Structure 1
Amino acid sequence: MRERIGNLEKRNVDGEKRGLGNYAALLFWQARRQPQREALVIDDESLTYEMLWQRVASMALAASSLGVHGDVLVEADDFLEQAIAFLALQAVGVRPILLHHGMRPEELQAILQENHLQGIWRCRSGGVQLFDASGLPEQPHEETDILGVLSSGSTGTPKVMYRTYESWAGFFPVQDEIFGIDGETVLFLQGSLSFTGNTNSWLSVLYEGGTVVTSRLMRCHVWEELLRCHAVDVLYLVPTKLQLLGRAMTAPYDGLRMLFTGSQLLTPAMLRRLQQLFPAGAILLYYGASELNYITYAICEDPDRDSSNLGRPFPGIRVSVGDDGLIYVDTPYHVSGARIPFTVKDTGHLNEKGELIFGGRRAAWINKGGVKLSTVRLELLLKALPGVADAVVLPVKDRLRGDAAAAFLVAEKGEGEQAIRRTVRQSLKPVEVPDSLIFLPQIPLNDRGKVDRNALRRLLASAGA
């Protein structure tokens, strides 16, 4: 009976939170309920829910006095300023769109013009905010959108995709139970909030009333100190950052009960290392997309599991594979205007257990002399070779010579390039051997923690490959 009453109370509270309308209202709700609870810890700065709301309210007043309206880009290099602006603009009925870091002025203008946005909200040091209006007319919204997110922009100007409050908040009760997030959670993440994986994770903790810990610094020893100092029990990092953390940590941390990650695959070597470092924590790999939220997940216990296995669908989500080999997703939780079932042009298949086996993005497949090669599979093969610490494979399109593969490799410390080249030729099938092998001290990452493929393409062009 006590359990039934507890479940009923939780459903009532969830219903109240889901009816709030935007995330500024959710923060205000939490600030009234638990004002002294830590909401955000950023390096040596800590803000309670009440303190965070005061900062948000102050910026909301500034935005209102400047007449900010409509759909607005947010330019802020600092995590805290991103978070405050994201909430403050919603508080005054503006739809914020967080910019990726390091964008050029011409890129900003292209985003404004192509997406018909009303301006840029710029956060400057010292708490100064500026609004540069674009003069473009405000666009009508057919749905109750409260925010926008940017596509990666890897193949052109980033597009704005809009979201309703319900499209994320409605799924929090489901995902939070699977990820182990509740009101007592202390979650660590790192990177820009323009990455929807970070934004969703932060907002899911805000929804439950827990604490998010982060760092402005790309220094793994600082991350480790924060984990231990603040008794972090849930960790969210993309695999590229997990790999960096795994190399830097010298002693296990047994306070973690859940590590969830996605956007890239986990190799057997990385899984073993994570299991050593976090012996008490479950390791969960998810598959998701900015357009669709979370799609499938797998608890990774066996390090020798198929790295391409992305597990079974989340409750309430339906996954199918079409005759074209593309993955289609039927979900009520998606960006506005998405036609369901939706595909992001990823390929794969479902095994006999109903688990999704990932084949990679359709555009990333290579047709080499009539043989179709998955860059995802090639990357996994290269990462498994002795002496290789990391690997990324890009397709190279050539109208005269056909498709080719370029591989960027990071060698383990003390390993020679020539020895690795021999290993690649001896271990892979002739058709799988990349046409170009380029060695780097490290793989470049963007501000979302993902591989910066544009930077790799520039390196490839400068090398004349």
Structure 2
Amino acid sequence: MRVVWLDGSAAAIAALAEAVAAAVEGGETVLPLNAADPSAQSLLEAMSPEQPVEPDTAVIIATSGSTGAPKGVLLSARALTASATSTHVRLGGPGSWLLATPAHYIGGLQVLVRARLAGMKPAFLTGEGFRTDAFAAAAAPVLAAEGPRYTALVPTQLVRLLDDGGAGLAAARAFDAIVLGAAATSPKLRTRAEEAGVRIVPAYGMSETASGCVYDGVPLDGVRVEQDADERLCISGDVLAHGYRLAPELSAESFHGGWFRTSDRGRLLPDGRVEVLGRADDVINTGGVKVSAASVERVLGSCPGVREACVVGLPDAEWGEAVVALVVAEQTVDANALRAAVRTELGAAATPKRLEFATELPLRGPGKVDRTAVRARFVAP
């Protein structure tokens, strides 16, 4: 196993790109880790690099996820290349790529795989944080190349580009497609992007599916999505991982018969598109009524002046769980009006018992809302 430590430098990313290319061609398994992550050492220890690697493993994506328990997703060369090839088919053919998200997560690492398969050298956005001027500078060589030009972002990065305007937004407009993943794309953000002339492709997927496997509601070629009896989405296809590092029981629980059972609720629409309804563990049982946190978030997010919202459940002596919401507003918004909108759309049980405002939502990983941090905010003394 080859461990590649990423420190934000172009040299480290270039080393990872070469290591991944070699792994895809049958070389040593690669484990990318973020040198700045305080939990990186514990992740490394959990991956036990001294022990033999599971067969057919090109890359291990290590993460603590939402539970805090280390988990290593085993990805084969077949899964990585199937995802990259299907992505190019869906977007409009092989092209040049800008890496603008952390490469130790699957969304960033797949940019390296796609660029390699396209025979192109990817450009890198380096440094700490996300600055729109740095994005524009890093995008310049990609946008100067012939053929399709692509990048992958998370919603918070897109919001920053739209807010700041200028050279960063101009660069975003010049891409033939921007794959938007890691978190859901709200209808409001989609509309903002369209009005600004930015071509986005919302993607749904995870490390276990070698990155996005459903683009704008439509599964990639070779990917099948079904819904089980519990409304959980199940996925099959060559893009699937083949298990978890040193966790045969967890692997058998999640991967069975060529299918991966996700942690997300969803449904298949009559036109064949996939609608993701939110994580199964984000359902709030309040007063005996099951409330989808994602549904409440959608209603709040559609209200005038609201940029985004996170809804969670808190233990409550009377209700079992109480619905609470943390809202990011673009202007002064009446909390009572927001509650009324939820009550009208979803009923009294879904109406937040508490609603607070913040300048931004806490994030974890590549751009997912940190629901644990949101809960902590409401229970803090």
* TM-score, normalising length: structure 2: 0.82
Cα distance in 2 between the residues matched to 1:226 and 1:85: 18
Report the counterpart of residue 219 of structure 1 in structure 2. 131
Change (3 A) 1:190 1:171: closer
CA distance in 2, matches of 1:249, 1:229: 20
**Map of 1:127 onto structure 2:** none
Matches within 5 A, 1:341-360: 341-360=259-278
Shift of the alpha carbon at 1:400?
A: 6.8
Q: Are the counterparts in 2 of residues 97 and 147 from structure 1 also a CA contact under 8 Å? A: yes
Q: State whether structure 2 residue 49 is matched by structure 1 residue 117.
A: yes
AA in 2 matched with 1:202: L
Provide the C-alpha distance between the structure 1 equivalents of 2:57 and 2:322, rounded to a whole number of angstroms: 42
1:111-134 alpha-carbon deviations (Å, 9 max, x no partner): 34443233xxxxxxxxxxxxxxxx
Report the CA distance shift for 1:410/1:163 in structure 2 as closer, same or farther (over 3 A).
same
Q: 2:43 is matched by which residue type in structure 1?
A: I
How far apart are 1:167 and its partner, in Å? 1.4
Q: Percent identity?
A: 24
Which residue is 2:30 aligned to?
A: 96
- Confirm whether residue 323 of structure 1 aligns to residue 235 of structure 2: no
Please say if 1:139 is aligned against 2:46: no
Distance 1:193 1:457, change over 3 A: farther
SS at 2:203's partner residue? strand
1:287 and 2:214 aligned? no
Q: Could you list the runs of 5+ residues in structure 1 that have no partner in the other structure?
A: 1-69, 119-137, 299-310
Cα displacement (A) at 1:291: 0.3
Measure the CA separation in 1 of the matches of 2:79 and 2:266: 25
Is the 1:79–1:191 contact (alpha carbons within 8 Å) kept by the matching residues of 2? no
- Distance in 1, matches of 2:19 and 2:143, equals 32
RMSD over aligned CA atoms reads 2.7
SS at match of 2:340: helix
1:191 and 1:448 in contact (8 A); partners too: yes
State the secondary structure of the residue aligned to 1:428.
helix
More displaced stretch, 77-86 vs 189-198: 77-86
SS at match of 1:223: helix
CA-CA distance at 1:214 after TM superposition: 3.5
Q: Which residue of 2 aligns with 1:166?
A: 78
Structure 1 SS opposite 2:369: coil
In structure 2, distance between residues paired with 1:318 and 1:146: 23
Aligned to 1:145, what secondary structure does the other structure show? coil
Distance 1:295 1:89, change over 3 A: closer
Offset at residue 331 of structure 1 (A): 1.2
In the alignment, structure 1 residue 428 sits paired with structure 2 residue 345: no
Q: Deviations 1:135-155 (Å, cap 9, x if unpaired)?
A: xxx2352x2212210234221
Distance 1:82 1:431, change over 3 A: farther
Question: What aligned pairs does 1:329-340 form with structure 2 within 5 A after superposition?
Answer: 329-337=235-243, 338-339=255-256, 340=258
- Residue 199 of structure 1: how far off its partner (Å): 0.9
Paired residues of 2:182 and 2:367 also in contact (CA < 8 A): no
Separation of aligned partners in 2, 1:318 and 1:181: 22
* 1:177 corresponds to: 89
Q: Could you tell me how far 1:170 is from its partner in structure 2?
A: 3.3
The CA distance in 1 between the partners of 2:355 and 2:241, in whole Å, is 39
Task: Tell me, in whole angstroms, the C-alpha distance in 2 between the residues paired with 1:101 and 1:374.
Answer: 36
Instruction: State the structure with more CA Rg.
Output: 1
Q: Secondary structure at the match of 1:265?
A: coil
1:377 to 285, 288, 295: 295
Q: What residue identity is the alignment partner of 1:231?
A: L
* Number of residue pairs the alignment of both structures matches: 351
Report the residue type matching 1:238 in the other structure. Answer: V
- SS of 2:336's equivalent in the other structure is helix
1:201 Cα offset (Å)? 2.0
> Which residue in the other structure is 2:180 paired with?
261
What is the SS of the residue equivalent to 1:287?
strand
Equivalent residues of 1:252, 1:278 under 8 A apart: no
1:200 to 110, 125, 134: 110
Is the CA contact (8 Å cut-off) linking 2:115 and 2:122 kept in structure 1?
A: yes
Structure 2 CA distance for aligned equivalents of residues 398 and 193 of structure 1: 40
Q: What are the ranges of 5 or more consecutive residues in structure 2 without an aligned counterpart? A: 244-254
Q: Distance in 2 between matches of 1:426 and 1:362?
A: 26
* TM, length-normalised to structure 1: 0.68
